[in-house]
Structure 1
Amino acid sequence: MAKKKKSELKGWKLIGKTMRKSLSIFRYGIKALGLVWQTSAVLTVAIAIFTLMSGLLPAAIAYVGKLIVDGVVLASRSGLISDRNLALSYVGFEALLIVILAAAQKGLNVSQSLLRVLLGQQVNVLILEKALTLELAHFEDSEFYDKMTQARSQASSRPLSLISRIFGLGQSALTLLTFSGLLLQFSVWAVIVLVLAAIPSFIAETKFSEHSFRLFKWRSPETRQQHYLETLLAREDYAKEVQLYQLGGMLLRRYRDIFDRLYDEDRNLTIQKGIWGYLLGLLSTGAFYAAYAWIVIEAIAGKISLGEMTMYLVVFRQGQATFAAALTSIGGMYEDNLYLANLYEFLEQPIPKSEGYITRGIEPDGIRFENVSFCYPESTEPVLKDISLHLKHGEKLAIVGENGSGKTTLIKLLTRLYVPTSGRILLDGVDLNDWDIDVLRKRIGVIFQNFVQYQFTVGENVGVGDVERLNEYQEWEVATEKGMAKPFINNMPKGFSTQLGKWFKGGQELSGGQWQKIALSRAFMRSQADILVLDEPTAAMDAEAEMNIFNHFRSLTKDQMVVLISHRFSTVRMADKIIVMADGKIIEQGSHEQLLATDGRYAHLFSLQAAGYK
């Protein structure tokens, strides 16, 4: 008895799970409908009208077909012209209905095609708008980056797919309702057989939809790796190293290995889906031919006319296909919801907004780090430990240290790309977290070592330093004069209008030193900025060019705070204050002369580099 109750309980749980799955298909339907309506209300209404027409006309066509057959039989028996004309009028009426149905279906396809393009753009814009609100840490989090990759990969087409399926389900429901009305004249059991015959296909579709989505979600890191390998093999900025180090074969093998692994999963899923679909489809076919035989027997017995037999066979065949399509739509809607869940999980990811609102400092105190430490998320090992320093207005600070000592991380904290784990950073007496982020960023001009080489024109490459004055020619002139890029720009065929990079037609490539002068000019576009941050800004230049740049640079930044990271001590020695970092800590700080007198780490590094020039 207990065993029976346990079995019944298990059965009810299974039914409950199935019901929850079925209801879950509508979870994102309203959101998707709102998104589609927002994209184009006209096309949404057009799809609804064409769907309604496509749902109602098949039953009418089937019924007119019955009238044609019965009219032909009557006319052949009676020989009357009136009966013949009546049969021909039915033919003409059916032709008209077929033309209207074809127009509705074509209109539906056209509307969906147009909406698909618009909706793809709309969803991609939503994803990119969300990406603009993310912090740097989100892009460095592989799990979160996978979510964004998954959202971008297929979700742009899924909202329309879900809406199309919902409308398609409505169309199928209308068709089935009218078909059922016709079949009920024959037998209620015919309707029941029609319904039961389509269920096996639905079971197979739902089962494999879920499995397909799980594969998609699990394999996102591998897909990103495959795209990365494509980039390495096909991009011009990687081509020289790939060729010189003969990496092509190794990269292509990795690419093929990932594809083979993903293909094996897809192949297994496709084969299983095909086998189960075929076996379960046999049940539907058997049900149809059983009903076929039943209808033929009834016609032979004279219980139904030849026209009715034809109509019932057409209705049963089309009804079965329509019902199977409806259940397949439900299975597809379930899969669409899984993808949309992933999309909205990304779009609705809570991003803590900056609550800073202060636009002016309390006092002209410059920049202060007070016992600042920083750990990366999900790490307990501090990258920076107890950093304290003070940079006054007009002072120049140089940061030196080995790679991995925390120099660039300190810069990212100063520019508020990261937030300290403990301690605080003040600008003019106000915590950086309390500053309005837009006001703060406008006060800072930055050049990172791996600055972006935009595939834009020369002028735009400089202008992006201040996007509000992106296209102001006079500002380009001033900024490139300060950044010492003007001489080689004047020698270019189209000056500031010269396309840079090789991605687009007519593009011209620059040397590493020229790109760095463009980046330096970009920082000078922010003429209102009183903080300049330079992370290895002249690494691609020779020592003499770098010295000329910084002698020029120092005269231009008398009233600005400058933070400089460099490995060349000829440049560093020009700073008012120098800090030496190691293992995330400041181990020495002072002027060039003070640090030499201390005879510590800085003096040792300086003597090593000086010896190299003797």
Structure 2
Amino acid sequence: MFNIYQWNAIKYVWSRSKGWLFASILFSIINGFLPFANLWVAMSLIDAVANYFQAQNADPVPVFLLLAGQFILSLVSSLCSHIKQYMDSRVEAKLGYEVQQTILKKTASVPILYYDSPDFHNHVNRVSGDGARLLAPLRTFFSLVEMVLSMGSYLTFLIVIHWSLVVVSLLTAIPIFLIQTKYGKKRYYLLKQQTPVAREAGYYSSLLKDRDTAKEIRLFNLESFFLQKWAMKHLQSMKETLLLERRQHTANIGLDALTGLFYVGIATVIIWLASQTRLSVGGFISIVQAIQGAQGVLSRISGLLASTYEENLYLKDYYTLLAFEDPELKDYKRDKECPNPIQQIILEDVSFRYYGGGEEILKNIHLKISANQKIAIVGENGSGKTTLIKCLIGLYSVTKGRVLIDGININEITKQSLNQQIAVIFQDFVRYLLNVSENIGVGDAERMTHRDEIVQAARQSGVDRFVRQLPQGYDTQLGRTFADGEDLSGGQWQRVALGRALFRNSQIVILDEPTAALDPIAEMELFKQFQKLAENKIAIFISHRMAAAKVADQIIVMKEGQIAEMGTHEELMELEQEYYRMYQSQAQWYTSDESSEKAVAAWTN
């Protein structure tokens, strides 16, 4: 009855909510037998009332007893229904929290390479449901138990009257099951098809509501442009949904007409039975109720079995997401600690391509970096500089070759141990909507409560100078999104990011285009601060500005995913090739303004 994904969900729910399971079984059994009891009491009550009005001096006690019985059955049904609904809601809320927590943990730990794939984002979007869907297999099972028992009650009552009533009742369910199964599949595949469109519509919607984009959208009068793009995607999705709804309702109209014909057949059978046998008023009414009840149960069973297919597709997506892993790491055990201190990093014939195939972004990279060495990586946009860094620090798993730290394959080193030795300031570093202390403390979450060390890092990075002017000092909320938030300038945020890296106290420090948006004075200040950060460490600096590369121990020139040249500034200038061309193209910067060279001189002083 259940496939592997449903069994996984059942085992998980069993491990978390045994009490709910036993209660659900009990309520399902009780609710399953209630229809038979209700039919018998209703038939007896109608006949007892009819006899009471027809007979003289009839005893009213049987009528009141049956009324009391009907009241008790109604009360039991209500209690079972509401208690079960409350328990379901409580378990759904609990599992919903755990499901979302599991999804968030997985998306936070899944290899970065998946984030370059639109299919991954669509997949995550589809599984962002709640606990109800994880409960679906068991709820379906208990509902089926209850409905089968209810069906048994109705059919037992009908078969005592005549077997033909059972046949006519069962025939009604076949077209209902076929139609609901058909449209259950169509609803899921429509959802899957619409996920990319819905994500696009969500993106345009977020642009119109986001604080960071509000200024540019208003200045460039982009409101109508993005509103039109949102409307186009939203209406496309809406039209497809409404088309499916229209087709399903059209099918349901035909189904209702067919059901009406079955009722005519049932009425004919009942009239024939009334002419052949002595049928009481209570018996007649109870037969009609039993047939309607049986058809209602069959309809719900058909709908339940049809929706099971749809829910199973969700569970397949959910457990497929949990199984995501880096295909390049499946044969490695991450059980080694990162060397401390690090003596050497070697890249052996490293190549890389993004998840899903395509051209190689890096090709046959050979590189050796020694302890305390200062490396500059230069090259035009798209040459592979940042990708090389991501492979070097383990964010991307190489598709060919090896990255070795003191002879240990980086894929064999535990993630926590490796990450602890790396501090990176990317050009697009995150500006967290947290307070100042937390914004620096995220550099090492395990030490986030060490306020003295955070303040020390803030002083070294220059953050302390402006933090003391903020309303609540280090407890000041940053960003205007939340209440009482304060804005920082670009340069101040840059210092916060540097303080974050200083607080991490790692062996490898990397700056990825950190001065791209800074003026020469701010750039000089950043280099001075970076001197403190890079002291006695492996330091790697990625930049378009040749002045930064000039004082490095070694310069790596990237071009089209390969190392085109490697050496010191003097060595590469003598070659008069790629580096020479790039340097000469920026020569006027150095003759007109020597501030950059003065700034980076701190790197080797």
Q: TM-score, normalised by structure 1?
A: 0.90
Instruction: For 1:207-218, list aligned pairs within 5 A.
Output: 207-218=182-193
**Aligned residues of 1:165 and 1:332 also touching (Cα < 8 A):** no
Is 2:311 the partner of 1:331?
Answer: no
- Structure 2 CA distance for aligned equivalents of residues 459 and 166 of structure 1: 51
* Aligned residue among 541, 547, 559 for 1:582: 559
Question: Which stretch of the first structure deviates more once superposed, 447-456 or 368-377?
Answer: 368-377
Question: What's the secondary structure of 1:450's corresponding residue?
Answer: coil
RMSD over equivalenced CA pairs, Å: 2.3
CA distance in 2 between counterparts of 1:27 and 1:309 reads 47
How far residue 494 of structure 1 moved from its aligned partner, in angstroms, is 1.1
Residue 48 of structure 1: how far off its partner (Å): 2.9
Counterpart residue identity of residue 10, structure 2: L
* Residue 21 of structure 2 is aligned to residue 44 of structure 1: yes
Structure 1 residues 574 and 334, CA gap change in structure 2 (3 angstroms): same
For residues 337-396 of structure 1, what are the alpha-carbon distances to aligned partners after superposition, in whole Å with 9 as ceiling and x for unaligned? Answer: 122222222223454454243325499532233343333344453322333333321121
Instruction: Write the distance in 1 (CA, Å) between the matches of 2:340 and 2:79.
Output: 71
1:149 pairs with 2:149: no
Q: Tell me how far 1:611 sits from its aligned partner.
A: 4.4
Contact 1:397 1:577 in 2 (8 A): yes
**Residue 527 of structure 2 corresponds to residue 547 of structure 1:** no
CA drift at 1:424 = 2.9
- Within the candidate set 255, 259, 262, 2:234 is matched to 259
Look up the SS of the partner of 1:157 in the other structure: helix
Per the alignment, residue 15 of structure 1 pairs with: none
Cα distance in 2 for partners of 1:49, 1:192 equals 30
| Deviation (angstroms), 1:329 | 1.1
Rounded to whole Å, the distance in 1 between the matches of 2:90 and 2:423 is 44
Taking a change above 3 Å as real, the CA distance of residues 612 and 173 of structure 1, as seen in their structure-2 partners, is farther
- Show the 5 A alignment for 1:314-325: 314-325=289-300
* Matched AA of 1:370: E
Counterpart AA for 1:560: K
Equivalent position to 2:112, from 110, 113, 136: 136
TM-superposed deviation, 1:204: 0.9
Q: Is the 1:465–1:525 contact (alpha carbons within 8 Å) kept by the matching residues of 2?
A: yes
Q: State whether structure 2 residue 483 is matched by structure 1 residue 505.
A: yes
- Tell me the equivalent position of 2:333: 355
- Residue 9 (structure 1) aligns with: none
Distance 1:28 1:431, change over 3 A: closer
Write the mapping of 1:480-491 to structure 2, written as runs, cut at 5 A: 480-491=458-469
- Assess if the C-alpha contact under 8 Å between 1:28 and 1:337 holds in 2: yes
Decide whether aligned partners of structure 1 residues 491 and 62 sit closer, same or farther in structure 2, where only a CA change above 3 A counts.
Answer: same
The partner residue of 1:433 within 386, 411, 429 is: 411
Equivalent position to 2:423, from 445, 452, 459:
445
Cα–Cα, structure 1 residues 164 and 198, in superposed 2: closer, same or farther, change >3 Å? same
1:150-165 equivalence runs, <5 A: 150-152=126-128, 154=129, 156-165=131-140
TM-score scaled by length of structure 2: 0.91
Judge conservation of contact 2:93–2:131 (CA < 8 Å) in 1: no
Q: Displacement, 1:41?
A: 2.6
Map 1:198-347 → 2, pairs under 5 A: 198-299=173-274, 303-347=278-322
Q: Distance in 2 between the 1:557 and 1:324 partners?
A: 71
SS in 1 for 2:396: coil
Aligned length: 588
The aligned residue for residue 11 of structure 1 is: none
Structure 2 residues without counterparts, runs of 5 or longer: 595-605
Say yes or no: does 1:98 pair with 2:74: yes
What is the rounded CA distance, in whole Å, between the counterparts of 1:291 and 1:492 in structure 2? 81
The CA distance in 2 between the partners of 1:348 and 1:588, in whole Å, is: 41
Q: Which residue of 1 aligns with 2:442?
A: 464
User: In structure 1, what is the equivalent of residue 61 of structure 2?
Assistant: 85
Residues 1:30 and 1:603: Cα distance change in structure 2 (over 3 Å): closer
Tell me what 1:7 maps to.
none
State the alpha-carbon separation in 2 of the partners of residues 204 and 229 from structure 1: 36
- When residues 360 and 163 of structure 1 are mapped into structure 2, their CA distance, relative to the original with a 3 A threshold, is closer
Shift of 1:64: 0.3
Q: Which moved more, 1:69-78 or 1:464-473?
A: 69-78
**2:3 and 2:374 mapped to 1: Cα distance?**
61
Over the matched positions of the two proteins, sequence identity in percent amounts to 31
CA contact (8 A) 2:41 2:66 kept: yes
Cα offset, 1:316, TM superposition: 1.1
Distance 1:289 1:28 in 2: 43
CA contact 2:338–2:418 (8 Å) conserved in 1:
no
Residues 285 and 531 of structure 1, relative CA distance in 2, 3 Å threshold: same
State the partner residue of 1:66: 43
Contact 1:367 / 1:427 at 8 angstroms: preserved in 2?
A: yes
| 1:536 lines up with 2:516 in the alignment | no
- Cα distance change on mapping 1:555 and 1:126 into 2, 3 Å: closer
Distance 1:545 1:29, change over 3 A: closer
Secondary structure, counterpart of 1:394 in structure 2: coil
Distance verdict in 2 for CA 1:55–1:412, change over 3 Å: same
SS for the counterpart of 1:499 is coil
1:400-450, CA deviations, whole angstroms, 9 ceiling, x for partnerless residues? Answer: 221111110111011111223333333223332333332221111111111
Is 1:119 aligned with 2:95?
yes
Q: Give the secondary-structure state (helix, strand or coil) at the position aligned to 2:470.
A: coil
Contact 1:155–1:343 (CA under 8 A) maintained in structure 2: no
Bigger mean CA deviation after superposition, 206-215 or 391-400: 391-400
- The counterpart of 1:57, out of the listed 34, 45, 49, is 34
- Measure the CA separation in 1 of the matches of 2:114 and 2:573: 42
